[in-house]
């Protein structure tokens, strides 16, 4: 099996690896089927946990690799990280304002739709550069770049896949809380990961060009994720009477993702 995989072209290798990461997103989104009744305390705790996961992923999975990659490409890492990070948050800020401006009815349902749309968009945006990273990892094998190997590319894909589990639940669970059915919550949760196989193939095909803009894309996704965490996830979890406990769940989520990112390199 391993020999068969190693003999495939980098494009097919990237596709298979990204299909794996998407499948883990599907598993994460499927959590909604295990809850017979949605309780506010449980959902607030999961929102806090998801917020911690996204904060940790924003740095260790996105921003820090963006800085390191920019340095390796002899780019101004400080400038690239700042512009990308701020642009990601600014895009969601502008989108929020545009939505509010054109929203004629200021009803609760509209607020729910906006909140859900922002969450789906941010995590989907986060998955695009992750798919590109997978594509670049396998595409670069053709050029025998020092430090680039099939084993390291597979390990990277496994690491991203493990991170996708909480990301799938970070969409499906909040959607379920907003009253959306389990099937639809699951569908939108797993849908956020479908961009990874697409962007992975694109990254493998255009590996040289993609590498030059990856630092910006990674920083951009980090900014978008932090905006959603600060604007939506944490404030929503803090509506619970046990604010201190919800904050603790955020710390737990951060710690879990931090351990995964560091241990998986």
Give the pLDDT of the chain (265 residues) as one tens digit per residue. 677 888 888 899 999 999 999 999 999 899 888 865 556 777 788 778 878 887 887 888 778 888 888 888 888 999 999 999 999 889 878 877 776 666 555 554 556 666 677 777 777 776 887 788 788 778 877 766 545 578 778 877 887 787 788 778 878 877 887 778 889 889 988 988 999 999 999 888 877 676 788 788 878 888 888 888 888 778 878 888 788 888 999 999 899 878 876 775 5
CB 54 within 8 A of CB 229: yes
State the distance between the two ends of the chain, measured CA to CA, in whole angstroms: 25
**pLDDT, position 39:** 66
Measured distance CA(213)–CA(196) in Å, rounded: 17
Contacts of 92 (CB under 8 A, 6+ apart): 118, 121, 122, 224, 227, 228, 231
- Rounded to whole angstroms, the Cα distance separating 34 from 113 reads 24
- Six token digits for residue 201: 């193939």
The model's pTM is: 0.64
Q: What local confidence, expressed as pLDDT, does residue 114 receive?
A: 66
| CA 165 – CA 159 distance, rounded (Å) | 11
What span, in angstroms and rounded, lies between the C-alpha atoms of 219 and 206? 20
pLDDT number for residue 128: 82
Say what the pLDDT of residue 81 is: 94
User: Looking at residue 214, what is its pLDDT?
Assistant: 77
CA 144 to chain centre: 29
Q: How many CB atoms lie within 10 A of CB 204?
A: 29
Our separate counts of H helices and E strands in the chain read 12, 0
Question: Cα separation of 126 and 132, whole Å?
Answer: 11
Q: What are the extents of the domains in the chain?
A: 11-29+40-263
């Amino acid at each position: 099996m391993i020999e068969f995989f190693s003999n495939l072209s980098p494009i097919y290798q990237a596709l298979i690896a990204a299909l794996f990461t998407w499948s883990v997103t599907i598993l994460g989104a499927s959590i909604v089927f295990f809850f017979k009744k949605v309780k506010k305390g449980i959902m607030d705790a999961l929102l806090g946990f998801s917020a911690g996961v996204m904060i940790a992923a924003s740095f260790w999975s996105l921003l820090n690799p963006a800085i390191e990659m920019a340095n390796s490409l002899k780019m101004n890492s400080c400038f690239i990280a700042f512009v990308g990070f701020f642009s990601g948050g600014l895009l969601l800020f502008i989108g929020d304002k545009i939505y509010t401006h054109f929203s004629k009815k200021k009803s609760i349902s509209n607020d729910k739709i906006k909140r859900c749309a922002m969450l789906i968009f941010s995590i989907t945006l986060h998955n695009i550069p992750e798919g590109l990273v997978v594509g670049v990892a396998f595409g670069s094998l053709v050029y025998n770049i020092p430090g680039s190997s099939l084993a390291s590319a597979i390990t990277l894909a496994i690491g991203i896949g493990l991170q996708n589990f909480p990301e799938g639940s970070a969409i499906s669970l909040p959607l379920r809380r907003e009253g959306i059915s389990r099937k639809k919550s699951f569908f939108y949760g797993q849908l956020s990961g479908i961009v990874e196989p697409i962007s992975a193939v694109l990254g493998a095909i255009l590996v040289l060009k993609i590498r030059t803009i990856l630092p910006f894309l990674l920083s951009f996704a980090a900014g978008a994720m932090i905006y959603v965490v600060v604007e939506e996830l944490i404030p929503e979890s803090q509506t619970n009477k046990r604010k201190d406990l919800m904050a603790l769940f955020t710390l737990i989520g951060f710690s879990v993702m931090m351990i995964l990112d560091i241990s998986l390199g």
